Structure 1
Amino acid sequence: MPKILIVGGGYAGFYTAWKLEKHLRKGEAEVTIVDPLPYMTYQPFLPEVAAGSIEARHSVVALRRHLKKTTVVAAKVTGINHANKVATITPIAGDPYEFEYDQIVVTAGAVSRTFPIPGIADNAIGLKTIEEAVAIRDRLMSNFDKASVLPPGPERDRLLTVVVVGGGFAGIEVFAELRSLASSLVKSYPQLTFDDTHFHLIEAMGRIMPEVSLKTSEWVLKDLAKRGAYVHLDTQVTGAVDGNIELSTGETIPSDLIIWTAGVMANPTVVRGGDLPIEERGRIRTRADLRVGSDEEIVEGAWAAGDVSAVPDLSGGGVGGYCVPNAQHAVRQAKLLAKNLVAVLRGEVPREYFHKNLGAVAGLGLYNGVFQSGNLALKGIIAWVAHRGYHGLAMPTWERKWRVLWGWWNNLWLRRDLVNLSTVQSPRYVFEEFAARPRPPQPAATPPAEPREQGKRADQPAKVTADKAAAEKATAEKATVTR
């Protein structure tokens, strides 16, 4: 049986494996998916997870539960030798080993792209994983707890200041969602007021959200301003040492929560660790039919999709002629890739990928959003309903859909969950504080020293016995003479 190796279990990897299980006949191929995490993260839900509107576990899809016919390996692919069709797999436990394959599908996704700005690597946090979204929520809520017991001053202001770097969809959504969360939290802290909270978004370009029209992006700016949020356009971050955000305008903003959403890059571990062709932006060069290669040359047995690949955008709407890295393209490319791979195994001709973006939708906090499709723009609660409707349906598997929808329904009546679980990062702290520990060993007691002569005699037991016998004999003779 041909062996199909899928590198990465994100959007594109999960959907490729999921659809291969549907299209492959029994015994036609053996599919293995490799990812260090046991789940796929639905990234459009990360801003709502950070705001407490969606339960974190409901925004991920368990690979082992929904991939019944696929072998799931908890590991990283750290090397690809496609010339010999061998991949190096480094498991989360154990030694690396080599895996032979016939077809490889590279869907390793993307990671946050940062710049060598002092302090960013040490103090900022991204928004690409579910763990980051949960950490952002817990940090903000913990800061409210700390600020509520502090007097007004610089330290309290720092704790209640949030800075988001990047004005794309991810940045604007998490910025607006956290602003909405903070407004809800203030009601529970009588020591704090709305004016004590400070939200700043830093964008290097002259506008935000390039996926929507300029008019719509300006409406979003005005809406954020009404809610007490500040957007700094044409501004760059020059430093973030010790949490002090230094801007190109000369302004400094002290903050305890810095969120970096200013771009992504193809997963460097997979891209640099293999021999597949790479284009100038560090992505795997991919044809329109999702086979690795160029118009002139095909790398047989190699496929790529999602953020790690440079797929030509035949609709003409891409940046630089390629599909932009987003969920819409990743999901649709994966579905076609599965069909094309099966077609090639059966000696058929694969189809080219074509998708024209029909619109963009974003959530801006509870009951507020924006939707753009061509010249049609919706704002406010209607767009918010469209946002939730679209992503609720786009969430893979009905099991996950129901969990998300049920959570939204409960929050509609019960309000969002404001439980702070920041201590989950150190779950043993209470146990360690009160756990009984063995006492340190006490030094042994030193016996009292014996007189010098007694000590010498004690070291000579035979002499001691002889002296004792002589003394007894002398006592007996003396008694005889006396009588």
Structure 2
Amino acid sequence: MPKILIVGGGYAGFYTAWKLEKHLRKGEAEVTMVDPLPYMTYQPFLPEVAAGEIEARHVVVGHRRHLKRTNVVTAKVTGIDHSRKVATITPTLGDPWEMEYDQIVVTAGAVSRTFPIPGIADNAIGLKTIEEAVAIRDRILSNFDKAANLPPGPEKERLLTVVVVGGGFAGIEAFAELRALASSLVEQYPSISFEETHFHLIEAMGRIMPEVSLKTSEWVLKSLAKRGAFVHLDTQVQGAVDGNVELSTGETIPTDLIVWTAGVMANPTVVRGGDLPVEERGRIRARADLRVGTAEEFVEGAWAAGDVAAVPDLSGGGVGGYCVPNAQHAVRQAKLLAKNLVAVLRGELPKEYLHKNLGAVAGLGLYNGVFQSGNFALKGFIAWCAHRGYHGLAMPSWERKWRVIGDWWHNLWLGRDNVSLLAVQNPRYVFEEFAARPRPVQPEAASAPAAKAAAPKAKAPATAAK
């Protein structure tokens, strides 16, 4: 039985395994998926998780629950030796081992791309994982609790200041959702005024959201300005040390929360740990049929899709001729990859990936959004409905869809669940504070047994003399 190894369980990896289960006949192939996390994260919902609009667990899809015929291995792939068709699997506990395969599918995704700016690595946080979204939400809520007890001044405003770096879709959505969250919190804290909350977005380019038209992006800027948000264009971050964000314009912004959304890069652990061909931007080189290789030749038994792969965009709309790294491409590539892989196993020819971008949609806080498809654009409430409608349908499995829709329905009538669970990152703090511990040995008590032990030894010579 051919062995298929899927490296990564994100969008592309999960959907590849999901569709392989559908297309493969019983006993036709053995599928194994390896990922260090036991779930797939639906990343377009991370800004809403950070803003307290969706429960965190509802935007992740458990691998073992939804993949019934796939061997799920919770570990990392730290090496790929395709010349021997062997991958090195490294678990959290235990020794690494080698796994043989006949077909390998590399869908390891992307990670946040940063630059060697002083303080960023130590003080900023990304928005690529569910854990980061929860941490951002809890930090904002906890900072409001702290600031409510402080008198007006620099320290109070520092706690109430948020800086988001990156003006792409991910950055704008996070920025707008967090601004909306803070605005709703002000109503619950009488000692905090709206004017004491500050939100700054830093973008190195001269515009935001390059995925939409200039006119639409300008409308987004005006919408954010009305809600008290500041956008710094043509500006770069030069430092983020000791809670002070230094900008190329000479400004310094004191803050307690820096969210980094300025781009992504292919997972370096998988790309650098293998012998598959890599293009100049650090992605695995793939063909339009999703096999690894070039248009002239392909690598037998190797496939790639999603953010980790450089897949040619045959529609002509890609940047540099390649598909942009987003969920829309990752999901559709994975579905075709599963079909192509099965076709090759059966001696058939694979098909090429061709998908014209349907448009871009973004949520900008409750009841506000933007949608762009070609020259057609929607703004405001209608676009917000389109945003939720599209992503609600795109969420994998009806079980997950109903959980997300349930959160939206409850929040419509009950409002946001604005409770910080920051202490969950140190869950034993109460137990440790009050736990009974053995009393330390007292010096007097320790010397008494020593004295008794020495006493008989002193009398021993006298007794012997008698």
Shorter-chain TM-score tier: over 0.9
Gaps of 5+ in 1: 465-483
Report how many aligned residue pairs link the two structures. 461
- 5 Å matches for 1:58-97? 58-97=58-97
- 5 Å matches for 1:294-443? 294-442=294-442, 443=445
Counterparts in 2 of 1:248 and 1:461: CA distance versus 1, 3 Å: same
Report the residue type matching 1:416 in the other structure.
R
Counterparts in 2 of 1:249 and 1:23: CA distance versus 1, 3 Å: same
Rounded Cα–Cα distance in structure 2 between residues aligned with 1:444 and 1:187? 61
- Corresponding residue for residue 46 of structure 2: 46
Report the residue type matching 2:144 in the other structure.
F
- Corresponding residue for residue 179 of structure 2: 179
Report the residue type matching 1:460 in the other structure.
A
Counterparts in 2 of 1:66 and 1:455: CA distance versus 1, 3 Å: closer
- Corresponding residue for residue 14 of structure 1: 14
| Cα drift, residue 457 of structure 1 | 5.9
- Corresponding residue for residue 478 of structure 1: none
The secondary structure found in structure 1 opposite 2:242 is helix
| Cα drift, residue 460 of structure 1 | 2.2
| Cα drift, residue 157 of structure 1 | 1.1
Rounded Cα–Cα distance in structure 2 between residues aligned with 1:344 and 1:77? 24
- Corresponding residue for residue 37 of structure 1: 37
- Corresponding residue for residue 209 of structure 1: 209
Rounded Cα–Cα distance in structure 1 between residues aligned with 2:60 and 2:465? 88
Rounded Cα–Cα distance in structure 2 between residues aligned with 1:318 and 1:162? 33
Report the residue type matching 2:244 in the other structure.
N
Counterparts in 2 of 1:350 and 1:449: CA distance versus 1, 3 Å: closer
Report the residue type matching 1:23 in the other structure.
H
Report the residue type matching 2:61 in the other structure.
V
| Cα drift, residue 455 of structure 1 | 9.1
Rounded Cα–Cα distance in structure 1 between residues aligned with 2:168 and 2:451? 84
| Cα drift, residue 296 of structure 1 | 1.1
- Corresponding residue for residue 134 of structure 1: 134
- Corresponding residue for residue 444 of structure 1: 446
- Corresponding residue for residue 268 of structure 1: 268
Are 1:236 and 2:236 counterparts? Answer: yes
- 5 Å matches for 1:133-152? 133-152=133-152
The secondary structure found in structure 2 opposite 1:460 is helix
Counterparts in 2 of 1:457 and 1:125: CA distance versus 1, 3 Å: closer
| Cα drift, residue 447 of structure 1 | 8.1
The secondary structure found in structure 2 opposite 1:145 is helix
Are 1:105 and 2:105 counterparts? Answer: yes
Are 1:277 and 2:290 counterparts? Answer: no
When the two chains are superposed, the root-mean-square deviation of aligned CA atoms in Å is: 1.4
| Cα drift, residue 441 of structure 1 | 2.1
Larger radius of gyration: 1
Report the residue type matching 1:432 in the other structure.
E
Contact 1:312/1:323 (8 A) holds in 2: yes
| Cα drift, residue 459 of structure 1 | 2.8
Contact 1:17/1:70 (8 A) holds in 2: yes
Counterparts in 2 of 1:343 and 1:152: CA distance versus 1, 3 Å: same
Rounded Cα–Cα distance in structure 1 between residues aligned with 2:45 and 2:113? 20
The secondary structure found in structure 1 opposite 2:45 is helix
Counterparts in 2 of 1:419 and 1:297: CA distance versus 1, 3 Å: same
Rounded Cα–Cα distance in structure 2 between residues aligned with 1:438 and 1:449? 24
| Cα drift, residue 445 of structure 1 | 4.6
Contact 1:457/1:463 (8 A) holds in 2: no
Rounded Cα–Cα distance in structure 1 between residues aligned with 2:154 and 2:378? 40
Rounded Cα–Cα distance in structure 2 between residues aligned with 1:231 and 1:426? 35
Contact 1:287/1:295 (8 A) holds in 2: yes
| Cα drift, residue 448 of structure 1 | 12
Rounded Cα–Cα distance in structure 1 between residues aligned with 2:130 and 2:358? 27
Counterparts in 2 of 1:13 and 1:461: CA distance versus 1, 3 Å: same
| Cα drift, residue 297 of structure 1 | 1.3
| Cα drift, residue 243 of structure 1 | 1.8
Rounded Cα–Cα distance in structure 1 between residues aligned with 2:34 and 2:387? 32
Which of 455-464 and 355-364 deviates more?
Answer: 455-464
The secondary structure found in structure 2 opposite 1:444 is helix
1:207-258 Cα distance to aligned partner (Å, 9 max, x none): 0001111100000000000000000000011111112111110000011000
The secondary structure found in structure 2 opposite 1:238 is strand
Rounded Cα–Cα distance in structure 2 between residues aligned with 1:419 and 1:392? 24
Contact 1:200/1:232 (8 A) holds in 2: yes
